[in-house]
Amino acid sequence: MSLPAGHNQLREMVLAIIHHQQDYDELLSFLEPVTRSGMPLSSEATMELALLISDVERQAMLNDQLHTMVKDELAPTLVLTETGILLACNQAARDLFHSMDGDNYQRLGIKAGEFEQFRQRLYRHNGPTLIKTWPAGNPDTPLIMTATYHAPHRVFVFQSLECRWPESIELALGEVFGLSVAEREILAGLAQGLSAEQISEQRCRSLGTVRQQIKTVMQKMGANRQNQVVAAGAALANRSSGRSLGHEQPGLMSPWPLTLGDVVRNGRLIGWRRYGPPSGVPVVLMHGPFFGAGDFEQDRELAHRFNLDVIIPERPGYGRTPPASPIADPLDNQVDDCIAVLDQLGIERAWLLSHESGLIPAMALASRYPQRFAGLLAASPSGHFKPGVDLQGVPAQQRAMLWSARHAFWITRMLIRLGMVQVRKLGPERWVEAIFADSPADLEVLHAESARQGKLGTYHYNYNQNGAGLELDLQQTTTDWDQLVAQVSQPFCGMLGIYNRTTPPRFVRTLQELNPHLQMEELDAGQTLVISHAEQVFTRLAQMIEEHQQPLALTASVQ
């Protein structure tokens, strides 16, 4: 089927959106006749969208506010959440620590106790503080970094104390003082506080050569003592660094930690997260596309209150876990990833908790490994949208996504990437407005002060891989996954929000027809049920565990 005004107009609209000349909603309105028809898009329009994707992804990165905080810094600079998850870093830091977004402070060589001491120090003393890090490949020499708190996003900013200056100053040192490249490197080393011996080791030069170069630098700069050169170099770096990352005092920070780890399966890194008491009842959370993986503090507090040891495999396309090979079955891959995580942690039996589309892999786990999973609680479960079903009342964005997932793969990818342009333009504080614009009640939940840290974590976790996870989830929801419902033989309960417009209750209730043992509870909530009614979710899970009390075998608990 062709669009009302042809694929040229479609191209112009996409370009206008990424350059902030037009709103995303206008594209959804433009696609409305096609999505309502249920017919595929013309091949010309599909190809046009495919060719535009790289432009859209590039603009999304330019929009990213966290990336903007660090990209122009000369010294290695990193942004971390209050729980220590790495959100962004510049290339200098990436090269130094071999880091990737989604790692945590352990990648910087910082131990759990040291990180907690740093947080307490920052809270107690009014102003920036220091922290020791240990770059990859240099375990004997710490790198001291300044640590500041950026209140608007509630993040820590770590920045190396290295003295650096821009290229213009580098050239001026040569022209004004006649310093050679080697002599400028000597000056930089002195400004960092390095001794002649350390500079010798760093530059792989003899100590005698370095000492002679120091004397030459002193002569050219008209200094009588070495400390004069050191002071001049440090002041030069400080004045010309262009640093603009200020410090603001943090409020009380969360005492409930979030642990990160990973396992490698068939050459792929599978990230995992964990919170709650390690001695608690094991619970595997299969997360959904919007509300992260342990990022909301209330979940971590509730896990401790109800004695639940929550393990979260980072699903493909989210966090640090990349999608599998295109020839691999996506559902089989998720199941195998989860089992690999549990095997590494030594957990033989657990309960299942799912959020939204995480229901699908959760049911696959329950049906394929009944001996390892005691039961399943599905919070805000996905509904099954059969082909040709009436989507009246479903938001236009969701309707377009469902249609494109069935008929035009490239439109799915384009819609997700364009959504990311909007999300990153809005930033960590307001990104939810791009997703929940049609639901004021959900926005009210997400804009509450208690949700700020969670919003930040999920902003990064969901979109770290350019929306690859959401893309896989959309493809998965258009399969015949509903056959899994009948295969769950363990205790099975769902909790749905009666005001959820993205997955209206009428689509979720049909799941009970497929499994008469499925108990469905309806709450006065929207799509944000897992946040607004988190305590009810954990209470219900604890009740299920109590009602079906069985010893959950737990071998050595790995931290």
Give the model's pLDDT for residue 446: 93
Other beta carbons within 10 Å of 356 = 25
In 3D, which of 243, 154, 82, 171 has the Cα closest to residue 452? Answer: 154
Domain stop point among 207, 240, 273: 240
**Alpha-carbon distance 331 to 341, whole Å?**
16
Distances (CA, A) of 338 to 366, 433, 483, 559: 12, 32, 21, 17
Q: Decide if 485 contacts 511 (C-beta within 8 A).
A: yes
With cut-offs at 50, 70 and 90, classify the pLDDT of residue 238.
low
Is the model more confident about 544 or about 479?
Answer: 544
Domain stop point among 160, 183, 204: 160
**Alpha-carbon distance 517 to 539, whole Å?**
20
Looking at residues 93-112, what average pLDDT do you find? 87
Asked if residue 556 belongs to a domain, the reply is: no
Domain count, the chain: 4
**Alpha-carbon distance 342 to 327, whole Å?**
25
Looking at residues 321-327, what average pLDDT do you find? 90
With cut-offs at 50, 70 and 90, classify the pLDDT of residue 237.
low
With cut-offs at 50, 70 and 90, classify the pLDDT of residue 189.
confident
117 half-sphere exposure, CB direction, 13 A CA radius:
8
Looking at residues 176-186, what average pLDDT do you find? 87
Using the structure block, give the residue that is written with the tokens 């908790």. Answer: 353
Residue 74 belongs to a domain with what CATH number? 3.30.450.20
Looking at residues 469-491, what average pLDDT do you find? 90
For 113-159, what is each residue's pLDDT tens digit?
A: 999 999 888 878 777 888 889 888 777 777 888 888 887 778 899 98
Task: State the DSSP code for 279.
Answer: T
Q: Name the most confidently modeled range: 38-42, 164-168, 398-402, 548-552.
A: 398-402
Provide CB contacts within 8 A for 277, sequence distance 6+: 303, 304, 307, 308, 309
Q: Decide if 49 contacts 414 (C-beta within 8 A).
A: yes
Give the model's pLDDT for residue 225: 79
Asked if residue 253 belongs to a domain, the reply is: no
Distances (CA, A) of 400 to 321, 502, 526: 27, 12, 20
178-206 burial, b if ≥16 CB within 10 A, otherwise e? ebeeebbbbbbbbbbebebeebbeebeee
Q: Which amino acid is at 175?
A: E
Is the model more confident about 188 or about 370?
Answer: 370
Q: Name the most confidently modeled range: 220-229, 410-419, 519-528.
A: 519-528
**Alpha-carbon distance 100 to 92, whole Å?**
12
Asked if residue 192 belongs to a domain, the reply is: yes
My answer on whether 199 and 217 are in the same domain is yes
**Alpha-carbon distance 225 to 229, whole Å?**
7
Sheet of strand 77-81, all strands in order from the earlier edge strand to the far edge = 86-89, 77-81, 155-160, 143-150, 129-133
Q: Decide if 310 contacts 274 (C-beta within 8 A).
A: yes
For 532-550, what is each residue's pLDDT tens digit?
A: 999 999 999 999 999 987 5
Helices (H), 408-533: 409-430, 432-435, 440-446, 452-463, 468-477, 505-509, 511-514, 529-532
For 387-399, what is each residue's pLDDT tens digit?
A: 666 767 677 777 7
DSSP track, 206-260 = -HHHHHHHHHHHHHHTT-SSHHHHHHHHHHHHHHHS--------------S--EE
In 3D, which of 4, 25, 12, 7 has the Cα closest to residue 400? Answer: 25
Residue 375 CB-density burial (10 A; 0-12 exposed, 13-18 middle, 19+ buried): buried
Q: Which domain holds residue 78?
A: 67-160
Is the model more confident about 430 or about 253?
Answer: 430
278-292 burial, b if ≥16 CB within 10 A, otherwise e? eebbbbbbbbbbbbb
Residue 296 belongs to a domain with what CATH number? 3.40.50.1820
Asked if residue 7 belongs to a domain, the reply is: yes
With cut-offs at 50, 70 and 90, classify the pLDDT of residue 559.
very low
Strand partners, 43: none
My answer on whether 227 and 296 are in the same domain is no
Asked if residue 247 belongs to a domain, the reply is: no
Q: Decide if 132 contacts 148 (C-beta within 8 A).
A: no
My answer on whether 27 and 123 are in the same domain is no
For residue 77, pLDDT over 80 is answered with: yes
Other beta carbons within 10 Å of 437 = 16
**Alpha-carbon distance 153 to 68, whole Å?**
13
Other beta carbons within 10 Å of 27 = 21
Residue 197 belongs to a domain with what CATH number? 1.10.10.10
My answer on whether 354 and 449 are in the same domain is yes
Asked if residue 554 belongs to a domain, the reply is: no
Using the structure block, give the residue that is written with the tokens 């001996």. Answer: 371
Give the model's pLDDT for residue 556: 37
Q: Does residue 281 come out as left (phi exceeding 0), alpha (psi in the -120 to 50 range) or beta?
A: beta
My answer on whether 22 and 35 are in the same domain is yes
My answer on whether 389 and 356 are in the same domain is yes
My answer on whether 175 and 154 are in the same domain is no
Asked if residue 351 belongs to a domain, the reply is: yes
Residue 138 — φ and ψ, nearest 5°?
Answer: -140, 65
3-state secondary structure labels for all residues of 132-187: EECCCCCCCCCEEEEEEEECCCCEEEEEECCCCCCHHHHHHHHHHHCCCHHHHHHH
Is the model more confident about 505 or about 313?
Answer: 313
Entry pTM = 0.72
Long-range contacts of 234-237 (CB under 8 A, 24+ apart): 234/163, 234/191, 236/163, 236/165, 236/169, 236/191, 237/163, 237/164, 237/165, 237/188, 237/191
My answer on whether 336 and 453 are in the same domain is yes
Looking at residues 273-285, what average pLDDT do you find? 96
My answer on whether 416 and 497 are in the same domain is no
Of all residues in the chain, what percent carry a pLDDT higher than 70?
Answer: 82
Domain stop point among 186, 213, 240: 240
My answer on whether 199 and 272 are in the same domain is no
**Positive or negative: CA dihedral 422, 425, 429, 430:** negative
My answer on whether 137 and 226 are in the same domain is no
Using the structure block, give the residue that is written with the tokens 């509450």. Answer: 448
Q: Does residue 434 come out as left (phi exceeding 0), alpha (psi in the -120 to 50 range) or beta?
A: alpha
Helices (H), 306-408: 330-345, 359-368, 396-407
Asked if residue 50 belongs to a domain, the reply is: yes
**Alpha-carbon distance 528 to 525, whole Å?**
7
In 3D, which of 341, 407, 347, 335 has the Cα closest to residue 372? Answer: 347
With cut-offs at 50, 70 and 90, classify the pLDDT of residue 554.
very low
Tokens of 9: 């107009």
For 192-220, what is each residue's pLDDT tens digit?
A: 777 888 888 777 889 999 899 989 988 88
My answer on whether 148 and 198 are in the same domain is no
For residue 262, pLDDT over 90 is answered with: yes
For residue 235, pLDDT over 90 is answered with: no
Euclidean distance between the first and final Cα of the chain, in Å?
Answer: 54
